[in-house]
Structures are given as C-alpha cells and as structure tokens.
Amino acid sequence: MRIRTKADNKQLSPTETQFESVAGAISVDIEKVNGDSVVRILTVRGFPDRKAQIAKLDAETLEVFIEHLKEKLQEIKSVVKKAKFIKELRGFTGDAYLYELSESVKYSTWIEEDEEDESGERLKTAFTSFVVVSGCYAYGYPETYIFPSDSQGKILNWGELIGSFQGDIDHKRALSQAGFQVVDQF
C-alpha cells in the first residue's frame, strides 16, 4: 500500500497534512500541536462509525499503513523550519532574544534617496536569517513581536514580521505562528 498526502499536491503546509491510502481505505489527519504531531484517524472505508472503523482495521493493513505514516512524518519533520536561540539582548523594554533561522525571512526596507532606481521606488525587499523576538507590556497590555535583525541583534526594520501578536508574551508561540520550531541546533 502506498500512502499519498494532500501535501504531495501542495494543498497543505508541511506541518498539516492528511494521509490516505491509494485505495482510500484509511485516511488520517496530522497536525502540529505545540510542536508535537497529533494523528487522528478520519475514516476507514466501509465503516461509518469511527469506533467501528478503528476496530475493523485488520492488523496487516494497519501495520503497513503505520510504517508509511512514520516515513511521511520523518519527511515532514525534515522540512520544518527551525529557530535557534542565540542570546538575550540588552537595551530593550521587556525580554528580547536573538534567534538564527534555518530559512531566511523576507522584510521590507527603505532605500536611501541617492540609491533610488529609475522607477523612484524607495522600498525594497530584503532577506535575513536572524530575528529578534521581543516580549513586553505596551500601554499595560502584553505583546510579542518579531523583527528582522542582523547576526548581532541590530533591528533592520521595526515593522513586525508574521507571527507577532498581542495579548500574551510567548516567544515560542510567536515563532511557531511564523512557521518555525525552536531548537537547540540545526
């Protein structure tokens, strides 16, 4: 039995996917919850009741399916973007930490007037593999923001990146919402 995924068709992100046997006999859903992969059996063809579906799986089919599922999970884990803690930064209000990313993020930056191209554009796209995640209370409310930075923690642009949020201070959550898992090493 070969397992295919919706991710194979680029319909879902690498951290959320559904697996289904080619014959359509078994389908499961896998999603990341707090960094862990959670697997739920969705359907087993021919058995409308979920309990009956699980109970009627023959051992051989389930064993083969689980082996393929393990392979797919390894593929998913290998494409997860990672963020490695570098150091705590001083001079910020609240807690600010520098992270190195396994994959660069895009941000916008202003071009100096004398560097403008013929179109007159003053805003350009740039990439960095370092971010500062800052958590603080602003006007009495908690917020966690991600900013593009250089390797020393100097902010390259004060525009918040994807993953930034208000209502709590949680660096790992912000990075997770940006698609990165915090790890000790790449």
- pLDDT value, residue 31: 58
Q: Which residues of 100-115 are buried (b: 16+ CB within 10 A; e: fewer)?
A: ebeeebebeeeeeeee
Please check the confidence at residue 74 and state whether its pLDDT lies above 90.
Answer: no
By C-alpha distance, which of 178, 161, 151, 168 is closest to 94? 168
Query: How many CB atoms within 10 Å of residue 178?
Result: 18
* Proportion of the chain above pLDDT 70, given as a percent: 54
By C-alpha distance, which of 146, 113, 110 is closest to 126? 110
